């Protein structure tokens, strides 16, 4: 009898080990759209080792002090590629106990999630540093949050993936830009600049317009509805709500843009995009990010349904 009890205890122990191994061993492959059925706790995406991310670096500008092949046009130059960040463009530092991502901007690049995500609320704080680099030394500080990213690294300008962009640029935070063959529809109002060139601004009551790079589209960008950025050096809160193929952009708690019917042109077909990878851009400006979280959601907050 004692031997039978020992065997039974051993079997229970082995079964428990196998169960928890399967449960936690598979956790990293769970997308947020599936995770909705499990819990709604925020996932903190930034840690000391950037364990949720991988780095893709673009071409090196001729002004950079680095012994590699360099290019005047970094949009067409040969990229450094995956896991090759010799200038430590992406790094993590501690400040007052907080984990902060520093992006120097010295070389174009993308910090890319290893996994794809859908049906989530992304929240992050950002502020500008002071440094700027070629080829944007004399232009606005620029970065961006790319989401629903599809396909290979370097599909756009040999740097970033095809994706929807939440523009992070001085005076333009919250703009929508379609990168490459991922695009969507935005309700917009058509305006005209002093030089006669048209541009499009988000308006919840506007005409729903497909926006994408290409001669058959009127534009690839929809400007934010209003400016809600804080002065240089102060922390701003940026948010993206994604449900299926639709998303909402917020800057410091205010809705400034909305994208509908996200889709991807690939191999002659157009497919709906409901999830994808997330990228943080390095684009010639020093920028800092902290408190980047993804929280599973199953619907848009009711207060944003009219936007």
pLDDT at 10 over 80: no
Q: Name the E strands within 174-220.
A: 176-179, 182-192, 198-202, 207-211
Give the C-alpha separation, 176 to 242, whole Å.
14
**Residues 263 and 272: beta-carbon distance below 8 Å:** yes
pLDDT at 38 over 90: no
- Please give the class, per CATH, of domain 31-304: mainly beta
State both tokens at 76: 């067409």
Give the C-alpha separation, 263 to 254, whole Å.
25
pLDDT at 193 over 70: yes
**Residue ranges of the domains in the chain?**
1-29, 31-304
Q: CA–CA distance from 76 to each of 72, 82, 241, 255, 284 (Å)?
A: 9, 17, 33, 35, 16
The pLDDT tens digits of the residues spanning 84-113 come to: 999 999 999 999 999 999 999 999 999 999
The pLDDT tens digits of the residues spanning 121-148 come to: 999 999 999 999 999 999 999 999 999 9
Question: At residue 257, what are phi and psi to the nearest 5 degrees?
Answer: -165, 160
Is residue 21 very low, low, confident or very high in pLDDT (cuts 50, 70, 90)?
very low
Q: What is the pLDDT of residue 306?
A: 75
Give the C-alpha separation, 45 to 99, whole Å.
10
DSSP bridge partners of 110? 56, 281
Give the C-alpha separation, 48 to 209, whole Å.
41
Give the residue among 198, 199, 205, 257 at the shortest CA–CA distance from 228.
257
- Tokens 């950037």 -> residue: 50
Cα radius of gyration rounded to whole Å, the chain: 22
Give the C-alpha separation, 18 to 126, whole Å.
42
């Amino acid at each position: 009898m004692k031997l039978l009890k020992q065997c039974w205890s051993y079997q229970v122990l082995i079964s428990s080990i196998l169960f928890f191994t399967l449960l936690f061993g598979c956790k990293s492959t769970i997308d947020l759209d599936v995770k909705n059925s499990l819990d709604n706790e925020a996932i903190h995406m930034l840690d000391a080792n950037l364990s949720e991310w991988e780095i893709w670096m673009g071409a090196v500008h001729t002004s950079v002090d680095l012994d590699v092949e360099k290019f005047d046009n970094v949009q067409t130059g040969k990229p450094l590629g995956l896991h090759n960040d010799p200038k430590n463009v992406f790094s993590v530092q501690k400040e007052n106990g907080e984990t902060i991502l520093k992006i120097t901007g010295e070389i174009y690049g993308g910090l890319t999630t290893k996994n794809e995500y859908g049906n989530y609320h992304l929240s992050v704080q950002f502020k500008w540093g002071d440094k700027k680099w070629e080829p944007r030394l004399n232009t606005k500080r620029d970065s961006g949050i790319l989401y629903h990213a599809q396909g290979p690294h370097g599909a756009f300008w040999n740097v970033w993936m095809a994706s929807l962009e939440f523009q992070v640029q001085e005076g333009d935070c919250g703009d929508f830009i379609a990168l490459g063959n991922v695009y969507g529809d935005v309700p917009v109002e058509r305006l005209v600049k002093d030089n006669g060139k048209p541009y499009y601004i988000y308006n919840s009551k506007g005409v729903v317009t497909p926006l994408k790079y290409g001669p058959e589209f009127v534009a690839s960008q929809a400007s934010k509805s209003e400016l809600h950025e804080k002065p240089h050096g102060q922390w701003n809160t940026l948010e993206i709500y994604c449900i299926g193929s639709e998303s909402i952009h917020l800057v410091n708690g205010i809705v400034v843009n909305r994208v509908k019917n996200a889709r991807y042109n690939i191999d002659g077909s157009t497919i709906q995009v409901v999830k994808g990878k997330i990228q943080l851009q390095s684009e010639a400006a020093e920028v800092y990010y902290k408190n980047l979280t993804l929280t599973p959601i199953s619907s848009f907050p009711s207060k944003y349904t009219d936007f």
